[in-house]
């Protein structure tokens, strides 16, 4: 058993988890013994780490935990945080709402359902090509990356053939803390120039896509600034592909690590929607804690008073394994009747693309099960090569065979 | 005055409660409900409705019953 954990100091980020399938055991200790833990951040300053489901959900929803206050402080030095400072991710309502309402309509469940047949056809086409290749095949190059890239490009109106141009910049921006800030700024500058040109092209030749609609919201109604337009465009592009691509990889790795669950899904594909929710809860796409918040006043959580002006981190992976909400939380159970996992966050910043990601993940799983029966990873886990210093587990390649 | 309703489509994302905390809160089931069904016109309500990922929020004119759009 773990000793009561009330004396040792906690440094954040925590050391990496020993497995890609479970959070670091340190998080379970903290959740049990010190659910609202004072931590020492990389720069030596003090922050708070929240690990229980109810507390994490509250921090994400409660406006006293401000993203704007965090973005304007030096609460984090990751590329994502640098993007966030100038974007919708670094705003609170009502400024946040002004931008969110412009784009939310394109990502509702109803609108996403209209895209499903096209996405299913794209999955079929990609997997038909993939299945004809000599084995092993790299799933990243031929399926998990091109699928979300093409979907978000089509939705935004970005030419998918420019993928090789923007993908490296996107990688740099999603670097973990520790990456060279000058490189991140350069990548952001490049993406801003790219989107500036794209916007000029769309102004000249409007199309039926989200960038054209956003340009109209700027030019006809003055609802956002030119800089906000550019940042929103490249923010959606980055958010729209890297996470989904790697989540497809992590879903497959996790399913194959629990082969009984994989077999169960293969035998009962009607379980796919429920399986996607359970995998969203269970899978360790990232180890981190999302974007920090800063308290606008003192707030009590689980009996602990967090002072005003404090940096607060939320561990969604710890919350998603909270036994008080999810029975036998460390077990993957694709038949689990799951509601309200925190895989997409919660509150004003709840993942804008959640419904789109759900649909893409459902179609990706259905496609993999149908096209590639007997699918397996062609290398042992020890030979999986993740890009270093990324905020999500991002595979360079994923060789598969069947 | 406006009527505000949250339908059973609600998935408990908390977008509305985070966006317009004076108008929406999550119940014990984790799903949203309006704090008052009859409210003074307030843009925050329309912003929350427009931001809902499952379009579960309807805002109507209390006198005419006509939808109030974003």
Q: Look up the ipTM and state it.
A: 0.97
Phi, psi of A178 (to 5 degrees): 110, -20
Question: Which residues, numbered 296 to 335 in chain A, qualify as contacts with chain B under a Cβ-Cβ cut-off of 8 Å?
Answer: none
Ranges in chain A, pLDDT < 70:
1-7, 74-84, 176-179
Q: Give A-chain residues touching B70 at CB under 8 angstroms.
A: 101
For A281, left (φ over 0), alpha (ψ -120 to 50), or beta? Answer: alpha
Ranges in chain B, pLDDT < 70:
none
What is the three-class DSSP state of A373? coil
Distances in Å between the Cα of A371 and the Cα atoms of A266, A365, A395 are 11, 10, 22
Nearest C-alpha neighbor of A339 from the set A278, A269, A272: A278
Residue A108 sits at the chain B interface (C-beta within 8 Å): yes
Nearest to A63 among B18, B48, B53 (CB): B18
Nearest C-alpha neighbor of A179 from the set A49, A80, A53, A286: A80
Q: What is the pLDDT of residue A271?
A: 97
Residue A107 sits at the chain B interface (C-beta within 8 Å): yes
Q: What is the pLDDT of residue A75?
A: 57
Which residues of B lie closer than 8 Å to A, measured between beta carbons? 9, 11-15, 17-21, 26, 30, 43-44, 46-48, 50-55, 70
Find residue A305's DSSP bridge partners: A300
DSSP H helical ranges for chain B: 15-19, 43-51
Other residues' Cβ atoms within 10 Å of the Cβ of residue A304: 15
Cα gap A154→A220, rounded to integer Å: 23
Q: What is the pLDDT of residue A2?
A: 46
Determine the distance in angstroms separating the CA of A178 from the nearest CA of chain B, rounded to an integer.
Answer: 31
Residue A365 in contact with residue A390, Cβ under 8 Å? no
Question: Would the CB atoms of B44 and A100 count as touching at under 8 Å?
Answer: no
- Per the prediction, chain B carries an average pLDDT of 97
Which is it for strands A46-50 and A311-314: parallel, antiparallel or unpaired? parallel
Cα gap A141→A130, rounded to integer Å: 10
Determine the distance in angstroms separating the CA of A319 from the nearest CA of chain B, rounded to an integer.
Answer: 15
């Amino acid at each position: 058993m773990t000793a009561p954990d009330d004396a040792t100091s906690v440094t954040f980020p925590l050391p990496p988890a020993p497995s890609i399938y479970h959070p670091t055991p340190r998080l379970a200790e903290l959740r049990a013994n010190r659910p609202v833990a004072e931590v020492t951040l990389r720069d030596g300053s003090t922050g708070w780490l929240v690990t229980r489901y109810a507390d994490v959900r509250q921090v994400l929803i409660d406006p006293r935990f401000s993203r704007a206050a965090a973005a304007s402080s030096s609460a984090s030095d990751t590329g994502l945080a640098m993007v966030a400072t100038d974007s919708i991710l670094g705003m609170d309502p009502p400024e946040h709402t002004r931008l969110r309402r412009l784009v939310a309509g394109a990502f509702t469940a109803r609108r996403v359902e209209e895209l499903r047949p096209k996405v299913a056809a794209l999955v079929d086409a990609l997997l038909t090509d993939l299945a004809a290749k000599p084995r092993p095949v790299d799933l990243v190059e031929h399926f998990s990356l091109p699928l979300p890239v093409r979907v978000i490009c089509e939705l935004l109106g970005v030419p998918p053939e420019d993928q090789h141009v923007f993908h490296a910049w996107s990688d740099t921006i999603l670097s973990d803390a520790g990456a060279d800030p000058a490189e991140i700024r350069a990548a952001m500058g490049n993406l801003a120039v790219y989107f500036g040109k794209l916007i000029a092209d769309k102004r000249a030749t409007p199309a039926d896509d989200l960038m054209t609609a956003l340009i109209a919201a700027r030019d006809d109604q003055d609802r956002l600034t030119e800089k906000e337009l550019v940042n929103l465009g490249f923010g959606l592009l980055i958010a729209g592909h890297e996470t989904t691509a790697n989540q497809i990889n992590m879903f497959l790795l996790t399913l194959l690590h629990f082969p009984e669950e994989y077999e169960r899904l293969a035998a009962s594909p009607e379980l796919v929607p429920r399986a996607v929710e359970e995998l969203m809860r269970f899978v360790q796409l990232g180890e981190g804690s999302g974007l920090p918040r800063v308290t606008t006043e003192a707030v009590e959580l689980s009996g602990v008073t967090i002072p005003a002006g404090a940096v607060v981190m939320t561990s969604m992976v710890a919350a998603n394994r909270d036994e008080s909400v999810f029975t036998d939380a460390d077990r993957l159970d694709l038949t689990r009747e799951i509601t309200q996992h925190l895989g997409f966050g919660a509150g004003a910043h709840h993942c804008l693309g959640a419904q789109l990601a759900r649909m893409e993940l459902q179609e990706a799983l259905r496609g993999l099960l149908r096209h590639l029966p007997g699918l397996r990873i062609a290398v042992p886990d020890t030979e999986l090569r993740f890009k270093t210093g990324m905020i999500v587990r991002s595979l360079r390649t994923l060789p598969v065979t069947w | 005055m406006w009527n505000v309703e949250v339908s059973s489509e609600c998935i408990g994302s908390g977008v509305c409660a985070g966006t317009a905390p004076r108008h929406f809160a999550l119940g014990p089931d984790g799903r949203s409900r309006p704090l008052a069904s009859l409210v003074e016109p307030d843009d925050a309500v329309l912003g929350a409705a427009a931001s809902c990922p499952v379009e579960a929020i309807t805002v109507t004119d209390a006198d005419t019953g006509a939808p109030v759009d974003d």
